[in-house]
């Protein structure tokens, strides 16, 4: 049995439905939630009762509204870099390279680290109210959980540049159009549709699927991720980061010089 402070896990018919459960903070990724996810992945890897994982968010509003801004607002460069590096290693890269399929069922806002979590998953479906984006530059940061590497791969470099520079959100329809998500359904049908796809996968060879994931993921990705981590840490030393995070906490618009 799986019990966590920040996750709900239901296993049925070889499918694990994992609900990120901090609805009061729109399921923002704090240390506790990331630790729980990392432990779950380690356990699920060995659990023969689990052949497919579905990730979704608690509540009707958000998948995940990002990394927990309140938790890292006072970090310095070294701590920022450490946060990005350990998150990438223990959660995001672990999801991407997980030997069993992980489907993100995006049920609302997927912003910053939330979109990065969905993009690390093997593929994404979304509810029609979903909004997806990487708003880090509004906080004086860049994506730190793989977003600068995975978004251009999924939607093309030009679109990724524009999305990251403007911090604009994609609607579910637009996300479907550009290949950021594979399907869009009504929110009430989202989990059933994810389970339907997962069931189809459980009928196929799990050892073949494991090798397919490995082959599809094989590419030279080290440099980009390292540069992302380094820049992410450096930005914590900038005035804009203090201004951006303080403005968020104080519920006002940032004033970038």
Q: Catalytic residue positions?
A: 116, 136
CB of 231 vs ligand CO8, minimal distance in Å: 11
Site track 83-102 with ligand CO8 (rule: CB under 6 A), x = hit: xx--x---------------
CB of 121 vs ligand CO8, minimal distance in Å: 16
Q: Note whether 233 binds ligand CO8 by CB under 6 A.
A: no
Looking at the Cβ atoms of 145 and 225, the one nearer to ligand CO8 is 145
Subset of residues 127 to 146 that bind ligand CO8, contact rule: CB under 6 A: 135-136, 139, 141, 143-145
CB of 1 vs ligand CO8, minimal distance in Å: 29
Q: Which residue is nearest to ligand CO8 (CB)?
A: 112
CB of 251 vs ligand CO8, minimal distance in Å: 7
DSSP symbols for the chain: ----SSEEEEEETTEEEEEE--GGGTT-B-HHHHHHHHHHHHHHHH-TT-SEEEEEESSSSEEE--B-HHHHTT--HHHHHHHHHHHIIIIIHHHHT-SS-EEEEE-SEEETHHHHHHHHSSEEEEETT-EEE--GGGGT----SSHHHHHHHHH-HHHHHHHHHH-PPEEHHHHHHTTSSSEEE-GGGHHHHHHHHHHHHHTS-HHHHHHHHHHHH-S--HHHHHHHHHHHHHHTTSHHHHHHHHHHHTTS-----
Q: Note whether 112 binds ligand CO8 by CB under 6 A.
A: yes
Contact between residue 127 and residue 190 where contact means Cβ atoms under 8 Å apart: yes
- Residues that bind ligand CO8 (rule: CB under 6 A) add up to a total of 24
Subset of residues 141 to 200 that bind ligand CO8, contact rule: CB under 6 A: 141, 143-145
CB of 136 vs ligand CO8, minimal distance in Å: 5
Looking at the Cβ atoms of 47 and 230, the one nearer to ligand CO8 is 230
Q: For residues 155, 158, 160 and 161, what is the CA-based torsion angle, rounded to 10 degrees?
A: 180
Judged by CB under 6 A, which stretch of 21-29, 39-47, 156-164, 192-200 contacts ligand CO8?
Answer: 21-29
Site track 56-85 with ligand CO8 (rule: CB under 6 A), x = hit: ---------xxxxxx-x----------xx-
CB of 60 vs ligand CO8, minimal distance in Å: 12
User: How many Cβ atoms from other residues are within 10 Å of residue 79's Cβ?
Assistant: 13
Distances (CA, A) of 163 to 132, 135, 142, 155, 195: 10, 8, 12, 10, 30
Considering only residues 7, 18, 28, 163, which one is a binding residue for ligand CO8 as defined by CB under 6 A?
Answer: 28
Q: Which residues form the interface with ligand CO8 (CB under 6 A)?
A: 25-26, 28, 65-70, 72, 83-84, 87, 109, 111-113, 135-136, 139, 141, 143-145
């Amino acid at each position: 049995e799986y019990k966590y402070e920040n996750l709900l896990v239901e296993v049925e018919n070889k499918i694990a439905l994992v609900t990120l459960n901090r609805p009061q903070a729109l399921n923002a990724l704090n240390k506790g939630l990331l630790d729980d996810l990392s432990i779950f992945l380690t356990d699920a890897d060995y659990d023969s009762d689990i052949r497919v994982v579905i990730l979704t968010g608690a509540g009707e509003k958000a998948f995940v509204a990002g990394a927990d801004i309140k938790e890292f607002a006072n970090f310095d460069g070294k701590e920022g870099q450490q946060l990005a590096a350990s998150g990438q290693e223990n959660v995001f890269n672990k999801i991407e390279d997980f030997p069993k399929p992980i489907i993100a069922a995006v049920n609302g806002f997927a912003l910053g680290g939330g979109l990065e979590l969905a993009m690390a998953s093997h593929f994404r479906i979304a509810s029609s109210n979903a909004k997806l984006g990487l708003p880090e530059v509004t906080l004086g940061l860049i994506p730190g959980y793989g977003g600068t590497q995975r978004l251009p791969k999924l939607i093309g470099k030009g679109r990724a540049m524009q999305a990251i520079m403007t911090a604009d959100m994609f609607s579910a329809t637009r996300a479907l159009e550009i290949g950021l998500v594979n399907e869009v359904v009504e929110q009430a049908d989202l989990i059933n549709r994810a389970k339907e796809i997962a069931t189809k996968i459980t009928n196929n060879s799990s050892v073949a699927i494991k090798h397919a994931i490995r082959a599809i993921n094989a590419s030279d990705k080290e440099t980009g991720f390292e540069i992302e981590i380094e820049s992410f840490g450096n930005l914590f030393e900038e005035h804009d980061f203090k201004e951006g995070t303080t403005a968020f906490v104080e519920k006002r618009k940032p004033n970038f010089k």
